[in-house]
Amino acid sequence: MSTATLPRHATPLVAPTVPAVAKPSWIARFRPDLWLVIVVSVGAGIVHGINALGSPMPNDDEATYVSQAWALEHFGTLSHYTYSYDHPPLGWILLVPWNWALAHLAGVTDVWVSGRYAMVLVHMISAALVFGLVRRLGAARIAGVLAVAMFTLSPLGQEWQSLTLLDNIGTPFVLGACFLALDPKARLGRTVWAAALLAAAVLVKETNALFLPGVLGALWFGTRGRRRFVYVLFGTLFSGLVAFYPLYAIIKGELFEGPGHVSLLWSIKWQLLSRAGSGSALVVGSGSNMTVLDWLSKDAFLLIATVPALAITGWRVPRARPLAFATLVLFITPLRGGYLPAPFPINLIWPAAIITAVGLDAIVRGLVPRSRLTRAAAWILVTALLAAFPLQAASKADGGFWAGDKRSNYEAAGAWLKQNTRSSDVLLVDNILWIDMIQAGHTMDSTIWFYKLDDDPEIQHRYPDGWQDVDYVVLTPIMNHVGEEAPSSQAAVRNGTEVARYGDIVIYRVRH
Amino acid sequence: MEWVALVVSACLALISATALAWMLHAWWEPDAPTVPRRVASNALSFSLLAPARHEETVFGATLDRLAALDHEDYEVLAIVGHDDPGTTAVAEAASRRHPGRIRVIVDNSVPKSKPKALNTALPYCRGDVIGIFDAEDVVHEGLLAAVEHRFVTEDVSAVQAGVQLINFWSTWFSCHNALEYYFWFRSRLGYQASTGMIPLGGNTVFFKRDVVNELGGWDDDCLAEDCEIGIRLSSEGHRVSVMYDPDLVTREEAPVTVSEFVRQRTRWDQGFLQVLLKGYWMKLPSLRLRMWTLFTLSTPLLSALVGLTIPFTLLGIFVLKLPDAFVLATFVPLVPVLATVGVQWVGLVDLGKIAGRRPRLRDFARIALGTPAFSLMLGWAAIRAVGRQARGSISWEKTAHTGLHLHGVTSLEEAA
């Protein structure tokens, strides 16, 4: 009989006909991890949840997303104004059932507040997955706890992770895809779910496509002989699901550019090509350079520790190489000189925390003798050293994240408007006050997101005299920051009389 | 209307996704340890049944190969019809070439069918194990040793080994047909066996003789006697082992005309339907298993439905004027369909290795582009099957064979 001619793929396969011998259930095998993951997740949730509404200050983008979720819930449209394919909509689609549940089950009716609470839940899920991912990369439990601690306590992370941003909503999806892709048994089912989760992550925010090479690399392990199936299945499912975004544009007739309508391709072109670059972080004085220096002032420890950790994990931990590569790409991105989105640190902190923890684990394993006592001693030392940095940094961060009410000025301004204006008064406000006023019963017809007076044809048609049709304008840091990009708002402020002031928020009545 | 579209869309997505999952069952987890090739222990004796009807062109060669298998203790029973002198002559010539190995059994039943032929030969069988082959099968010489090992080491009543259609290059639908076989025998049957309910294949299937006698042989009137006996085995609590080794598969020929394919498929679909209506499966021990059988036996009808995915989607876009979200929903079933095409491409590469012929770009394109048309053909066969069953027509529409799987596969002969 011929046996030598068997190609490798043709190894005889036996379909099991006898049920496998009863193995201990997965709960029994992972019990210590399971308890620990609950503890770290709840711990991370508490740390994250303290003063979640007070700090950081309400943010421009987060107000946009909660407004879009509000519009979807109440009008069934993807945006309160025209949806312009700025980002795929899955992120705020997911907020809708959450907002509904909080409103009906817990009485939380302010969507901005619901959004902040959603981020607590998102952070808890992410923390559990960070722990799980560190464990799947073969590191000790204590390394998993450390990773979650770095992820949660990073002052830079705290500045961004509390905001209702698409990057935060996408994080557990990316983490879940990485976690499943590293399934130790390399089951095909994990390929399916990893594809679905990464596609969901991309449909939450397109930039998550940056993690595609990392997930593809993670799928490599343990799939010898089945790789073609793994990658074909992943590729078709991932692209098939992501395709629903352009498909939506096609159905709306908004894929290609054309007169009189928004289009997906125009938005992509604008984001990739037309948006002004921030310069390379290596060039002193460039936008990126200042941003990166700001990051380093907030969390130099984690960002710098990641660099040697990348080298160590790349060298000693083969299963961590794909994630290390993805992290490297993210770390290099600010150097290349393109547009650097403000919430970029969100996608830096969790990979940095994981890589640093796995790197430390590799060092401890490599240097410290294999005894319980010495290993424990080494980890106590490492933890003590690490604790010093984030705690010190956290205490330095302006005002601290666990104290201070950075929302009070907005609340006060909103309260003044609700008390002193009628819903027929035309208000020109930023989007944080916009969603506040709309929820208080003002209509979209009269409460205008200030940008729209300059760039929305429909609004301009309604108010042909521009700023002269406005009754009140509220000057906020956001509006100040935009400056001359919103000339109508500027004109309204110049022709306004100050009627109330709360910190850096000033309300003007416009003189006609 | 919108909600109807949504429900239909969800059902189609579910059907095609589960079909895909079962296609992939064999690869779901890391490979099981490989089984070393066996040398015949000759612990069991075999009776191999080879029914043939109007197969004089290929039957002689098949019998010669069957007579040269690597095993000491087996006999071949060539079953021919009393009204088919051509095939009978070929069988008798082969019997003279291999005295003591091949016997010719003449089936006098009218009208003729494969189960009747098998039942005619059953009393003449002397082996511990009965194996079934079709007239055009190319059987690997090491097959009996491997099957014997299964019977010896596992407590099973039947062993189903792999069958593979080889000529995936012949027509635009041959690759679809051959891949159906590939995934069915390589993967799906293993899953069926693990659930405790398996519709067996028509050949390269082996039974303990006592068990067949105990069951009373095959169902004379069933158009899918293979499926039927499998369900009966399962219902009586017998265990079946599924064995797939790309090297040992029995090679067969895919039908090369649309009408032939549709006739063959109609016969199987109607056979499944007969088994479904016969209701023997209601004896299965658990409700879950009964539901699973109901689903398995409805597979031909359901897979025909999946073919409607594409026209349905087009309907959703152009005719129904549904709201955007619902239009998107009608596209959901296309995602598993897309993944299935990808998985079939990978299967085609494997199939090319088995067939000893590299698939060409044309074959990959035929898989991607031919899916809707192939599904329509399946749908047409399913409708015909339902129609014939409703009219009570159970005549045997036989498939013709020309030996295409033997041509152009010279490497096969060398390897064997």
Convert the pLDDT of each residue in A459-470 to its tens digit.
889 999 989 999
Q: What is the pTM of this model?
A: 0.89
CA–CA separation, A175 and A169 (whole Å): 11
**Closest in A1, A16, A233 to B32, CB measured:** A16
Residue B113 lies in a domain: no
Contacts of B193 in chain A (CB under 8 A): 15, 17
Residue B326 lies in a domain: yes
> Are B39 and B329 spatial neighbours (Cβ–Cβ below 8 Å)?
no
Nearest to A15 among B193, B246, B350 (CB): B193
Task: Considering only the beta carbons, identify the residue of B29, B339, B415 that sits closest to A5.
Answer: B415
pLDDT score at B28: 87
Provide mean pLDDT across the span A157-180: 95
Closest Cα in chain B, distance from residue A89 (Å): 13
- CA distance to B173, B352, B405, per residue, from B169 (Å): 9, 10, 10
A477 contacts: CB under 8 Å, gap ≥ 6: A504, A505
pLDDT tens digit sequence for B57-80:
999 999 999 999 999 999 999 999
Question: Is residue B358 assigned to a domain?
Answer: yes
Residue B81 domain-assigned (yes or no): no
The distance of A331 to chain B (nearest Cα, Å) reads 34
Residues contacting A25, CB < 8 A, separation 6+: none
Contact yes or no for A12 and B350 at CB 8 A: no
From the CA of A359, how many Å to the nearest CA of chain B?
Answer: 29
Min Cα separation B384/chain A (Å):
34
Q: Which range is most confident: A398-402, B130-134, B388-392?
A: B130-134
Q: Does A240 touch chain B if contact means CB atoms closer than 8 Å?
A: yes
Distance CA A336, CA B334 (A): 39
Tell me if B233 sits within 8 A of B158, measured CB to CB: yes
How many Å is the Cα radius of gyration of chain A?
26
In a domain, B367, yes or no: yes
Residue A429 has pLDDT above 80, yes or no: yes
* Cβ pair B248:A241 closer than 8 A: no
**For residue B400, what are the CA distances in angstroms to B20, B56, B357?**
31, 11, 24
Q: What is the pLDDT of residues B350-365, one digit of tens each?
A: 999 999 999 999 999 9
Domain count, chain B: 1
Q: Decide: B320 and B8 in contact? Cβ < 8 Å.
A: no
Asked whether residue B98 is domain-assigned, the answer is no
What integer pLDDT is reported at residue A168 of this predicted model?
97
Which of B346, B354, B411, B413 should we substitute to test contact with A (largest number of A Cβ atoms within 10 Å)? B346
Supply A76's token pair: 């069934």
Q: Would you say A148 and A44 are in contact if contact means Cβ atoms under 8 Å apart?
A: yes
Q: Is residue B278 part of a domain?
A: yes
- Residue pair B133/B48 in contact (Cβ under 8 Å)? The answer is yes
The pLDDT of residue B316 is 65
Give the pLDDT of residue B409.
42
Q: What share of chain A is helix, strand, coil (3-state, %, to 5)?
A: 65, 5, 30
Per the prediction, chain A carries an average pLDDT of 88
Q: Is residue B133 included in any domain, yes or no?
A: no
CB A16 within 8 A of CB B32: yes
For residue A251, what is the nearest residue in chain B, using CA coordinates? Answer: B324
ipTM here: 0.86
Size of interface A-B (CB pairs under 8 A): 127
Q: Do B29 and A241 touch (CB under 8 A)?
A: no
- Domain hosting B321: range is 1-34+154-403
B1 interfaces chain A, CB cutoff of 8 Å: no
User: Would you state the pLDDT for residue B299?
Assistant: 80
Q: Per the structure block, which two tokens stand in for B181?
A: 């076989």
